[in-house]
Amino acid sequence: MRIGILRERAPGETRVALDPHAVYELTRVGHLVLVERGAGEGAGIPDARYREAGARILKEAAPVYEGAELIARVSGPPPEEYSYLRRDLILLAFLSLPVNPDLMQALLRSRCIAIALESIRDRRGRLPVLTPMSEIAGRLVPQIGARYLQKNEGGRGILLGGATGVRPGRVVVLGCGIVGSVAARVASGLGAQVTVVDRDLERLRRMEKSGLGGVTTLAANAMNIEEAVTRADLLIGAVFVSGTRTPHLVGRRTVAAMHDGSVIVDVDVDYGGCVETSRPTTLESPTFVEEGVIHYCVKNVPATVPVTATHALSNALLPYVRSIAGLGLTDALNADPGLRAGVVLAEGSVVSRSLARTCGMDYHSISSVLPLHREVR
């Protein structure tokens, strides 16, 4: 199979989907890998490394699209690449389609096969490609929040770990998934008082059993959330609902009741965010102030550590690229229901039930659109 790797063009996006180790694994079994010039520079990977791994370096995005049967990238194509999309092209990327209608329409018009990396599941129902990015984001956001709480950054002047005889900072984490649980662990390590809020009591039990110092749990309901958030120095939004927009759990009125100079880090703003006042920002201009509260709403937090994030993403993505390239799309989807769950658009149709429901569009089962059954192949 001919596989394309592109340079990312989203603001501040310095990751690349596949590293030279993955390229070598693909080329050594006979696949052709086309890499756009400079694709890995942001992650410290020169073109020469890809060339040594067996890739062919092309000067621009257009010939990569033209020559590839499968495109692997970090985020969905930007508008200037929409014209390169075509029928039968397989696209693997983090797509965030519920909040990206223009991209969704472009993918539908092209009739390409779009696989959302954030929707791929493993045999235990987990999100294996999204998870390493969530782990990295979870490790980063308490550090980011601690920075913006400093007075010189416009914050309240709170040290999360406190000092002898002085209370530590209060951190509230909404969501006890991968991002939230890792963030709680890091914030606890910094010495903060941490409250983790989730509606899943089993997740909260696991958090309590971990024995982290200074961490308490709270069942999610409107009153508990409001009371916890208004006392927080740092609010970390870590709510993700696969295939749909993130619900607003914190309203503007609650944000206004927080102390001036408090900080909100809304991790899943690329799916709408869990705070009403959130809006996407970039690494070049990461914050804004709303109701006296500093908001950090960068969509691609792992891009702040692109070397680590690229290798982690590549490790998670390679098995799926290798499966599709080795078996062909049809047999790969038949062999792996979790990969099949990642296919959201195909042949101009929405084949994800949750995406169709969220966007108010007609749903078509994937088997009615693609020839997955042996008798129709």
CB within 8 Å of 175: residues ≥ 6 apart = 197, 198, 237, 238, 239, 240, 274
Q: pLDDT of 215-267, one tens digit each?
A: 999 999 999 999 999 999 999 999 987 777 888 999 999 999 999 999 999 99
Amino acid 371: pLDDT? 80
Sheet holding 56-58, edge to edge: 56-58, 32-36, 2-5, 70-75, 90-94, 113-116, 343-346, 349-350
Q: pLDDT of 316-340, one tens digit each?
A: 999 999 999 999 999 999 999 999 9
Percent of the chain with pLDDT over 70: 98
What is the reported pTM?
Answer: 0.93
Confidence bin at 373 (pLDDT 50/70/90): low
CB 253 within 8 A of CB 243: no
In order of their start, the domains of the chain are: 2-119+305-376 (3.40.50.720), 132-304 (3.40.50.720)
**E-strand spans in 25-101?**
32-36, 56-58, 70-75, 90-94
Give the whole-angstrom CA distance, residue 231 versus residue 100: 34
H helices present in the chain, as ranges: 20-27, 47-52, 61-67, 101-110, 130-148, 178-189, 201-209, 222-231, 252-256, 306-327, 329-335, 337-342, 353-359, 366-369
**E-strand spans in 175-309?**
193-198, 215-219, 234-237, 263-266, 287-290, 293-296
Give the whole-angstrom CA distance, residue 112 versus residue 346: 6
Give the whole-angstrom CA distance, residue 375 versus residue 371: 9
Phi/psi for 152 (5° steps) reads -70, -15
Give the whole-angstrom CA distance, residue 260 versus residue 19: 43
Amino acid 377: pLDDT? 39
